[in-house]
Amino acid sequence: MTTTANTETAAPTQAVHWDLHYDIHLGETWSQFMEGLRQKKILATGCSSCVRVFVPPQAYCESCFEPTDGWRELPHEGTLEVFTVAWHGFTGGPQAPYAIGAIRLDGASTLLMHWVVGVDFTPGADVREQLPFGTRVRAVWAEERTGQILDIAHFEPVG
Amino acid sequence: MAYRAAVAGVGLTEATSPRKQTRSTIELCQQAVQATLAHSGASPDSIDAIVTGNIDGFEGTVLGAKHVTRLLGIGADLPVTIVNTGGTTGGNLMQVAARMVRSGTHRRVLVLGGPTFFGSTDLQSAINTNSPMIIEQPLGMGGYHMGAFAASAYQERYGLTADDLAAVAVADHAKASRNPFAHLRYEMTPEEVLAGRPLSSPLTQPMVCPISTSAVAMLVADPEDVADLATTPALIKAMGMSADPYLGGGKGDFSRMQNLANLARRVYALADIRDPLGEFDAVEIFAPYAHMQPMQLEALGFAPPGGGIDLIRSGATDAGGTLPTNMSGGPKCTNAGVAGELAPYAYAALQVMGDAPASIQIPGARRSLGHGTGGSFFQFENLAIFESLARSN
C-alpha cells in the first residue's frame, strides 16, 4: 500500500492494490472442452430432452434443467452474428483496438464469444461495412495450444 | 402480519465525480441514511433491520458493506442482510426489504445503497473481473464493451442510427440538468455526443454513463403502521426479478431484451397493468448506455420492436409527455454503482409520494415504474410498480 500526495487538485485518496492469484478448477465438462481445443477440436454438448447444443459445453441444459447427454464435435466455421470494436480497453486488458465477436458455429444453439480479425481500425472507419454481420468466419488455431480458450487465436472471414 | 410494503422515505446525496468527492463511503452512507430519516420522520429506534450490499472487488473490499452498518447512527444491534447480485444489487436491496416487511417478520427496514464505483482507478478493469472467467474474461471486456453488443445488434436489426443514439443522450442530459441530485448537470448537443471519444463501437463516451459518487437510502415500511411518519408512502404494488444465462454467448439474441420482456409480463399481471403506455405517470429505467433506453421501452411494452426511438423522439418520454421517463436524468448522467441501481426505485417512489425535487416532479403522479438491470452482459433484471398509497386505500 502506498500513500499518494494527491491533495492539491483532487480529494485526498490512498492507494490500495490487490495482487492475488487463483487457480480455478475447470471441472469435468470444461476440462474436456479445453482438451479438445488443444487437439484443434471444438466440442459441444447436447440437451437430452430438447435440441439445444451448447458451446462452450454445459453439463445441464439451462432451459430444460436436464443433463446434457453426449459430446459432439462442431465444425470450425460459423456465422459472425454481431461484434464490437473495443477502441478503448482497460488496465491489464488486451491492447486496443480489438474486435470481439459473437459467433454462431454451425450446429450450435449458443454463441461463442471470441476475437475476430478482418476489420480496418483506421479511426473513423465504418467497421461494420468492412465486416458485415452475417459474415462466415472460421477458427484460426494458435501455434502453441495449452488447453485454454485462446488456443483459438481468433476467427477470420472465410474466403 | 403485513402483506404489503411501502417506501416511506428516501434519502439522496448530491453526486460528483470520484475526483471531486471529499466524503468517504461511510460519510456518504451516513448522509443518505440521515436524509431518509428526516424525509420519513421515522425515529431511528423504529427501524428493525438493514439491507445493504456491494459488488465484489469494485470498492477494494469484498466486505459487502458490512463495515458500514454499525456507523450509521441507528443502533448497533440491528440485523444486517447483505445482497450481492452484481450490478443489480441496488434494485434487489429494496425487493429483499419489501419481502421482509411483507412477511411480517420486520416492521421497518432501512435500505442502503453506497457509492460502489468510488475507488477503482480503472473501473472497466474491475468490471472485467466480474465477466465470465475462463471463457470470456480473457477476451478483454468491461461494462461498455459488453453493452456494445446489444447496441450493435439492435442497430443492425432495426436501423437505429448514430444520430438516434445521440438524441437519447441529449434528452438525458436535458433532464439531468434539472435534477439537483444528478452528476452530469449540463446539456449536450447531438454534435458533441457524436464527436465524443469512441469507446466500443458504436458507443462514444457521451453515450455511456459517468463514474459517479453518491449514496441512496430508503425506508421500506408496513403501510398499515405509518401514523408516526411524515410522508405519503409509495405502495410497492408489484415487483419481481429475472435472470438470463451468465455467459454472454448464452444470450442468443442481443437485439432484443427478452428477459426484461418476460419479467414485465409477470410484474404487470401482478398489478393488473393492461395498457402500459396509458397506466404509468412516471418511469425510471436503468439505461446507462444510450441504446438501452429504446430497447427497454420496447421490452416494457411501451413501443413496438424497433419503435422505442420514435417514442423518445416524439417527446412522449419528456416532462409533459404521456410517459415521462427518467426525469432524474437516469444512470446515463449519474451512476454510482449500488446507489445508482437503487436510484430508479428511489425516484419512482418519490414521484408518487409527491416528494421528488420540484424541478423534476410530475404533478399528480399516482403510479410509477422503477427498473434495474446489471451483471455481466446485463444478466439480471428487476422491476417494481409503485402507487400513491392514498389511491390504494
- Which residues on B lie below 8 Å from A10 (Cβ)? 19-20
Cα distance between residue B6 and residue B107, in whole Å:
11
Q: What pLDDT band is residue B224 in, cutting at 50, 70 and 90?
A: very high
Using one digit for the tens of pLDDT, what is the confidence trace for B171-195?
A: 999 999 999 999 999 999 999 999 9
Question: In angstroms, how far is the first alpha carbon of chain A from the final one?
Answer: 53
The residue of chain B with its CA nearest to that of A63 is: B245
- Asked if the model's pLDDT at residue A34 lies above 70, the reply is yes
Using one digit for the tens of pLDDT, what is the confidence trace for A54-106?
A: 999 999 998 899 999 889 999 999 999 999 999 999 999 999 999 999 999 99
Element (H, E) at B55: none
pLDDT for the residue B86: 84
Tell if the CB–CB gap between B247 and A110 is shorter than 8 Å.
yes
The residue of chain B with its CA nearest to that of A82 is: B153
Cα distance between residue B110 and residue B29, in whole Å:
12
pLDDT for the residue A6: 45
What is the residue type of A141? W
Is B100 inside any structural domain?
yes
- Which residues on B lie below 8 Å from A86 (Cβ)? 140-141, 145, 199-200
Cα distance between residue B389 and residue B247, in whole Å:
41
Q: What pLDDT band is residue B391 in, cutting at 50, 70 and 90?
A: very low
Among candidates B140, B156, B247 on the partner chain, residue whose Cβ is nearest the Cβ of A86: B140
C-alpha distance from A3 to closest chain B C-alpha (Å): 14
pLDDT for the residue B85: 87
C-alpha distance from B52 to closest chain A C-alpha (Å): 23
In this prediction, residues B284-294 reach a mean pLDDT of: 98
pLDDT for the residue B393: 42
Scanning A115-154 for CB atoms below 8 A from B yields 115, 123, 127-128, 133, 148-150
A11: CB partners within 8 A, 6+ apart: B18, B19, B20, B21, B22
Is B191 inside any structural domain?
no
C-alpha distance from A76 to closest chain B C-alpha (Å): 16
Q: Using the 8-state DSSP alphabet, how is residue A95 labeled?
A: P
Residues B145, B146, B152: CA angle, nearest 5 degrees: 80
Residue of A82, A117, A120 best to disrupt the B interface, most CBs of B under 10 A: A82
Cα distance between residue A95 and residue A88, in whole Å:
9
Residue carrying the nine cell digits 439451462:
A62
- Asked if the model's pLDDT at residue B323 lies above 60, the reply is yes
What is the residue type of B232? T
Cα dist from A114 to A10, A101, A102, A125, B248, whole Å: 39, 5, 7, 21, 11
Q: Kindly write down the DSSP assignment for every residue of B196-263, as one continuous string.
A: SPEEETTEEGGGB----B--EEEEEE-TTS-TT--S--EEEEEEEEEE--SSGGGS--TTS-HHHHHH
Tell if the CB–CB gap between A16 and B250 is shorter than 8 Å.
no
pLDDT for the residue A26: 95
Element (H, E) at A7: none
Using one digit for the tens of pLDDT, what is the confidence trace for B136-180?
A: 999 999 999 999 999 999 999 999 999 999 999 999 999 999 999
- Asked if the model's pLDDT at residue B198 lies above 60, the reply is yes
Scanning A20-49 for CB atoms below 8 A from B yields 24, 26, 30
Using one digit for the tens of pLDDT, what is the confidence trace for B105-132?
A: 999 999 999 998 888 888 898 888 888 8
Tell if the CB–CB gap between A88 and B197 is shorter than 8 Å.
yes
The residue of chain B with its CA nearest to that of A33 is: B135
A122: CB partners within 8 A, 6+ apart: none
Tell if the CB–CB gap between A133 and B156 is shorter than 8 Å.
yes
Q: Which three cell numbers stand for residue A136?
A: 462466415
Q: What is the mean pLDDT of chain B?
A: 94
pLDDT for the residue B66: 78
Cα dist from B215 to B74, B181, B287, B351, B354, whole Å: 17, 10, 19, 19, 21
HSE, CB side, 13 Å, CA atoms: give it for residue B120: 23
- Asked if the model's pLDDT at residue B301 lies above 60, the reply is yes
A108: CB partners within 8 A, 6+ apart: A44, A53, A54, A55, A74, A78
Q: What is the mean pLDDT of chain A?
A: 92
Tell me the residue range of the domain where B99 lies. 6-121+211-221
Using one digit for the tens of pLDDT, what is the confidence trace for B225-277?
A: 999 999 999 999 999 999 998 888 888 899 999 999 999 999 999 999 999 99
- Asked if the model's pLDDT at residue A4 lies above 70, the reply is no
pLDDT for the residue B121: 85
In this prediction, residues B30-42 reach a mean pLDDT of: 97
- Asked if the model's pLDDT at residue A8 lies above 70, the reply is no
Size of interface A-B (CB pairs under 8 A): 123
Is B114 inside any structural domain?
yes
- Which residues on B lie below 8 Å from A11 (Cβ)? 18-22
Residue B12: give its domain's CATH number. Answer: 3.40.47.10
Tell me how far the alpha carbon of residue B236 is from its chain's centroid: 15
Q: What pLDDT band is residue A107 in, cutting at 50, 70 and 90?
A: very high
Using one digit for the tens of pLDDT, what is the confidence trace for B12-33?
A: 999 999 999 999 999 999 999 9
Cα distance between residue A87 and residue A120, in whole Å:
12
- Asked if the model's pLDDT at residue A3 lies above 60, the reply is no
Q: Using the 8-state DSSP alphabet, how is residue B299 labeled?
A: H
pLDDT for the residue B57: 81
ipTM associated with this complex: 0.92
b/e string for B144-173 if b means 16 or more Cβ within 10 A? bbbbbbbbbbbbbbbebebebbbbbbbbbb
pLDDT for the residue A2: 36
With contact defined as beta carbons under 8 Å apart, do B93 and B288 qualify?
no
C-alpha distance from B159 to closest chain A C-alpha (Å): 13
Lowest mean pLDDT among B72-81, B219-228, B311-320: B72-81
Cα distance between residue B193 and residue B200, in whole Å:
14
User: Residues of chain A with pLDDT > 70: what percent?
Assistant: 94
Q: Which three cell numbers stand for residue B321?
A: 409527455
C-alpha distance from A75 to closest chain B C-alpha (Å): 17
Residue A67 touches chain B, beta carbons under 8 Å: no
User: Residues of chain A with pLDDT > 90: what percent?
Assistant: 79
Higher pLDDT, B116 or B98: B98
Residue carrying the nine cell digits 454481420:
A133
Using one digit for the tens of pLDDT, what is the confidence trace for B339-384?
A: 999 999 999 999 999 999 999 999 999 999 999 999 889 999 999 9
With contact defined as beta carbons under 8 Å apart, do B372 and B344 qualify?
yes
Q: Using the 8-state DSSP alphabet, how is residue B40 labeled?
A: H
pLDDT for the residue B77: 80
Q: Kindly write down the DSSP assignment for every residue of B305-374, as one continuous string.
A: TT-HHHHHHTTTTSTTSSS-B-TT-HHHH---THHHHHHHHHHHHHHHHT-S-TTTPPTT--EEEEEEEE
Rg of chain B on CA atoms, in Å: 19
- Asked if the model's pLDDT at residue B7 lies above 90, the reply is yes
Overall number of domains in chain B: 1
pLDDT for the residue B146: 95
Q: Using the 8-state DSSP alphabet, how is residue A116 labeled?
A: B
Closest listed residue to residue B349, CA positions, set B332, B328, B320, B331:
B328
Using one digit for the tens of pLDDT, what is the confidence trace for B68-85?
A: 888 888 877 889 999 988
Is B157 inside any structural domain?
no
